């Protein structure tokens, strides 16, 4: 399952009920689209219902930073991709992009910090080898990719004078 670049996870279109009173995709639906794609990443690394039932292990998001870059209108075709930008036995730092699938512009990004959690104790634990090996198979080649420019950004305002 090695990956030479960011993983294209999902293609979808902006749904009519995702449009808000400003006539563009509401901010909440950007995160919903990213989350739907992230679920496919979870499947890819082996975290599915069978795994959760068998081991009690899963991944929880603990922090997210969404950056809205461009407006999206109804029916806009989207492509969502993921890059692993950091990982260890307990943590997974991913960066996702959302591009317009035809025009190519960047519409949004999200960076997530996630933890591997035991659902029985609700505490962080180490990923078992069957999951960590799949994360590493993706993360090792991703380590050679350029770090996304928007990764690690914080929301700041200049100090008042």
How does pLDDT run along the chain (161 residues), one tens digit per residue? 445 789 999 999 999 999 999 999 999 999 999 999 999 999 999 999 999 999 999 999 999 999 999 999 999 999 999 999 999 999 999 999 999 999 999 999 999 999 999 999 999 999 999 999 999 999 999 999 999 999 999 888 888 88
pTM of the model: 0.93
Q: Which fold has domain 7-142?
A: Thiol Ester Dehydrase; Chain A (3.10.129)
Q: What is the DSSP string of the chain?
A: ---SSPEEEEEEE--GGGB-TTSSB-HHHHHHHHHHHHHHHHHHTT-SHHHHHHH-EEEEEEEEEEEE-S---TT-EEEEEEEEEEE-SSEEEEEEEEEETTT--EEEEEEEEEEEEETTTTEE-PPPHHHHHHHHHHHHHHTTSPPPTTTT-----PPP-
């Amino acid at each position: 399952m090695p990956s030479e670049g960011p993983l294209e996870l999902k293609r979808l279109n902006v749904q009519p009920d995702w449009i808000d009173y400003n006539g563009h995709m509401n901010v909440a639906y950007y995160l919903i689209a990213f989350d739907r794609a992230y679920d496919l990443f979870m499947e890819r690394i082996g975290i599915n219902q069978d795994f959760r039932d068998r081991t009690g292990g899963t991944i929880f998001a603990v922090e997210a930073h969404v950056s809205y870059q461009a407006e999206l209108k109804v029916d806009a075709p989207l492509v969502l991709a993921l890059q692993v930008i950091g990982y260890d036995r307990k943590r997974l730092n991913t960066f996702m992009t959302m591009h317009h699938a035809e025009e190519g512009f960047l519409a949004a990004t999200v960076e997530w910090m996630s933890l591997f959690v035991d659902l029985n104790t609700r505490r962080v634990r180490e990923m078992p080898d069957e999951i960590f090996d799949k994360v590493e198979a993706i993360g090792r080649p991703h380590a050679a990719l350029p770090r996304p420019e928007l990764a690690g950004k914080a929301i700041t305002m200049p100090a008042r004078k």
